[in-house]
Structure 1
């Protein structure tokens, strides 16, 4: 009997499955953290999760609200300084995967977590979004730009909508493959960049030649038309698109228990 699950659960479990045991993963807050910890609690118990605040091999029982959440430090094997985290672990080539989320992503997997431009801002088309007067100011890049260039590869997980999947991001906070898809060709010393994008509708991977994101797998029950309607550019599909495997009962139980414990803990903290 197939377990019932939501699109959000499908996305998280699929993202968790992209991680494997013995990986060293630099984890972003939000959806990446959720997926990474589900992986740790299921098929990848020996994965090393690292957060930007310097916590290494952290094993939180609840999901952190930020990189400064005490749960990360309390459950970590050790905590190092932020300079050591970036200079030794990240820039030293010790990170297998950087796992990131985003507010905007374009067809070349560039990420924007800095500003959203006003609709009438013509500078967007010129790649010169007004940083001083945006429609919305976002939290910023944090360590994501460095993760994208120094991790051996990058996984991205994000909900699929035209608001997020735009033809050209308003601001390149974190480079994927650049505005033309060729940036990494000019800098072979940096990592491979984004190798997979996992959403609540499908899985996308960059085309080996153009680096444009292509749909390689549709989640069960999702149609090509749904993905097209939720994407802000003429999305391409692999000739032989597969169907993403469904979550199993254990994965769903672990995810739901983790989220319930997180909600209770944060609710109690807020009541103090």
Structure 2
């Protein structure tokens, strides 16, 4: 999953990341094909160069060597609202077929089964970043046809919806990366479809684990496994102590 995210980052991109896989993805990209990509945390650290996975957006490992240590308003105000952010990483308890994210509640808002943490920085990232990369575990509860609450807008209810609500042109979800597959968005319908399946997963298994009638691309293919350079970067440079293993118990690895 981290390598799939890295491959979506181009050289020179400004990338807003959180912790875990997003930070790993951005750093894999910087050490391989995108050395001029700039990683930025919600906390305001700009062009961070951590030598281990950050445990939070305020982890002290992000500070040494960073170009700037600012604040939340610098990221959300100056960079996002100024249109400077190319890529934003997002995740949520629910992600639907239009790339909307729910981190607010499960069930009706006024009678929720579970109350969730809320938006944090996800809403402005989803609203203003040029390309949003969504990372989520692949199961029907996580990928329903429609989220219970739109915390962070994707394509809302289809073509033209983002523009209707005043969101900038050329922004929105770009890809959903799961532990089973890569889903991309149809440029006409704005609905996510199956673009590739990870080694060990099958198309039927993935469709059964998706909460809507998932369309399969004509050129669907197996996801390219991590290459030798990517694996060396992870194992020897970014995470020699294998801290990323904390995600194994959550079903991501």
Task: Specify the TM-score bucket, using the shorter chain as the normaliser.
Answer: 0.7 to 0.9
Shift of 1:181: 4.9
SS where residue 184 of structure 2 aligns? strand
Match of 2:119 in 1: 141
Determine the C-alpha separation between the residues in 2 that align with 1:256 and 1:171. Answer: 39
SS where residue 261 of structure 1 aligns? coil
Shift of 1:190: 4.5
Q: Which has the higher contact order (CA 8 A, sep 6+)?
A: 1
CA contact (8 A) 2:18 2:56 kept: no
SS where residue 205 of structure 1 aligns? strand
Shift of 1:219: 2.2
Change (3 A) 1:248 1:73: same
CA offsets, 1:151-208, max 9 Å, x none?
Answer: 1121112221112111111211110011345421423635420011122222111111
CA offsets, 1:216-258, max 9 Å, x none?
Answer: 2222342210111211111111122123222112212322343
Determine the C-alpha separation between the residues in 2 that align with 1:202 and 1:172. Answer: 23
Determine the C-alpha separation between the residues in 2 that align with 1:30 and 1:241. Answer: 28
Match status 1:50 vs 2:30: no
TM-score calculated relative to the size of structure 2: 0.88
Match status 1:230 vs 2:188: no
Map residues 1-272 of structure 1 onto 2, 5 A cutoff: 11-117=1-107, 129-131=108-110, 133-186=111-164, 187=166, 189-257=168-236, 258-261=238-241, 263=243
Determine the C-alpha separation between the residues in 1 that align with 2:33 and 2:74. Answer: 29
Determine the C-alpha separation between the residues in 1 that align with 2:212 and 2:79. Answer: 36
Determine the C-alpha separation between the residues in 1 that align with 2:168 and 2:175. Answer: 20
CA offsets, 1:106-149, max 9 Å, x none?
Answer: 011001122222xxxxxxxxxxx225x43333222111110111
For this pair of structures, how many residues does the alignment match? 243
Cα-Cα RMSD = 2.1
CA contact (8 A) 1:31 1:158 kept: no
4+ residue runs over 6 A deviation: none
Q: Work out which of the two has the higher radius of gyration on C-alpha atoms and give 1 or 2.
A: 1
Determine the C-alpha separation between the residues in 1 that align with 2:243 and 2:222. Answer: 32
Shift of 1:260: 4.1
CA contact (8 A) 2:86 2:131 kept: yes
Determine the C-alpha separation between the residues in 1 that align with 2:211 and 2:162. Answer: 24
TM-score calculated relative to the size of structure 1: 0.82
Consecutive unaligned residues in structure 2, runs of 5 or more: 247-253
Change (3 A) 1:69 1:190: farther
SS where residue 237 of structure 1 aligns? strand
Shift of 1:68: 1.5
Determine the C-alpha separation between the residues in 2 that align with 1:30 and 1:55. Answer: 16
